[in-house]
């Protein structure tokens, strides 16, 4: 008997056992809605509900991220012009409007000094920005510095609320960015920027949507 036929028979036996095991399993009760499962405890819940942007800022800064609040898009453009002077090139996510793109030469994500994205939401509970794969994951992960625009109205109290807000237009992947990339794999020495951007800036737009 050939090795291929033996392999097919072994695979068939394994799959048959899986099917039999599934038939004998008891139904599992639904764990409940995501927001209920991730509802934060009292003290944070109160602060997060009254000032989600402030709570988000505190948690992202505690993780090593940077936060800037901007009154409206006019203020954002003025700030961006000054901020962009530090960099020589940029990789921009597909969802970033022209008005929020720095006037820098475009480069491939692996070569760009700066990456710019737009978050689809944020969580005050965890200090996380929710990014869509539709933006382009390479622009979010490869440049050493990552600027992320987020509207104040998209900063939610809990992580569950932030994820629920994305349900109507789910991309292939949602990523949570909660600070600069960190690793302590070697010698338990914390190093930033090994597996992603070493610097992350959340630019919060406080004004209404244009």
Rounded distance between C-alpha atoms, residue 186 and residue 7, angstroms? 40
Q: Which of 47-56, 88-97, 120-129, 189-198 has the lowest mean pLDDT?
A: 189-198
* Confidence (pLDDT) at 142: 92
Structure confidence by residue, pLDDT tens digits, 135-159: 888 999 999 999 999 999 999 998 8
- CATH code for 3-205? 3.40.50.10420
Is residue 130 scored above 70 in pLDDT?
Answer: yes
Residue 113 has pLDDT above 60, yes or no: yes
pLDDT category at 65 given cuts 50, 70, 90 is very high
- Characterise 183 by phi-psi region: left (phi > 0), alpha (psi -120 to 50), beta (else): beta
Question: HEC profile for the chain?
Answer: CCHHHHHHHHHHHHHHHHHHHHHHCCCCCCCCCHHHHCCCCHHHHHHHHHCHHHHHHHHHHHCCCEEEEECCHHHHHHHHHHHHHHCCCEEECCCCCHHHCCCCCECCCCCCCEEEEECCEEECCCCEEEEEHHHCHHHHHCCCEEEEEEEHHHEECCHHHHHHCCHHHCCCCEEEECCCCEECCCCCCCEECCCCCCEEEEEEECCCCC
* Each residue's pLDDT tens digit, 31-58: 666 555 455 555 455 555 688 999 999 9
Predicted confidence at residue 186, as pLDDT, reads 64
| Weakest mean pLDDT among 48-52, 61-65, 78-82, 205-209 | 48-52
Domain ranges for the chain, please list them: 3-205
Percent of the chain clearing pLDDT 70 (strictly above): 83
* Residue 79, pLDDT above cutoff 90: yes
Q: pTM to 2 decimals?
A: 0.76
**Cβ proximity of 102 and 87 under 8 Å:** yes
């Amino acid at each position: 008997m050939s090795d291929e036929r033996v392999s097919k028979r072994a695979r068939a036996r394994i799959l048959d056992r899986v099917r039999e095991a599934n038939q004998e399993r008891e139904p599992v009760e639904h764990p409940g809605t995501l927001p209920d499962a991730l509802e934060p405890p009292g003290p944070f819940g109160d602060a997060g509900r009254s000032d989600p942007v402030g709570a988000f800022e505190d948690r992202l800064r505690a993780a090593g991220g940077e936060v800037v609040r901007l009154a409206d898009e006019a203020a954002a453009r003025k700030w961006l012009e000054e901020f962009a002077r530090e960099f020589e090139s940029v990789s921009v996510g597909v969802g970033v409007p022209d008005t929020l793109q720095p006037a820098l030469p475009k480069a491939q994500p692996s070569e760009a000094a700066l990456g710019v994205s737009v978050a689809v939401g944020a969580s005050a509970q965890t200090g996380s920005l929710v990014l869509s794969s539709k933006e382009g994951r390479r622009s979010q992960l490869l440049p050493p510095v990552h600027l992320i625009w987020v509207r104040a109205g998209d900063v939610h109290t809990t992580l569950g609320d932030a994820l629920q807000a994305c349900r109507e237009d789910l991309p292939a992947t949602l990523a949570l960015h909660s600070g600069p990339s960190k690793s302590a794999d070697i010698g338990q020495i914390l190093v930033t920027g090994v597996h992603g951007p070493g610097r992350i800036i959340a630019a919060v737009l406080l004004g209404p949507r244009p």
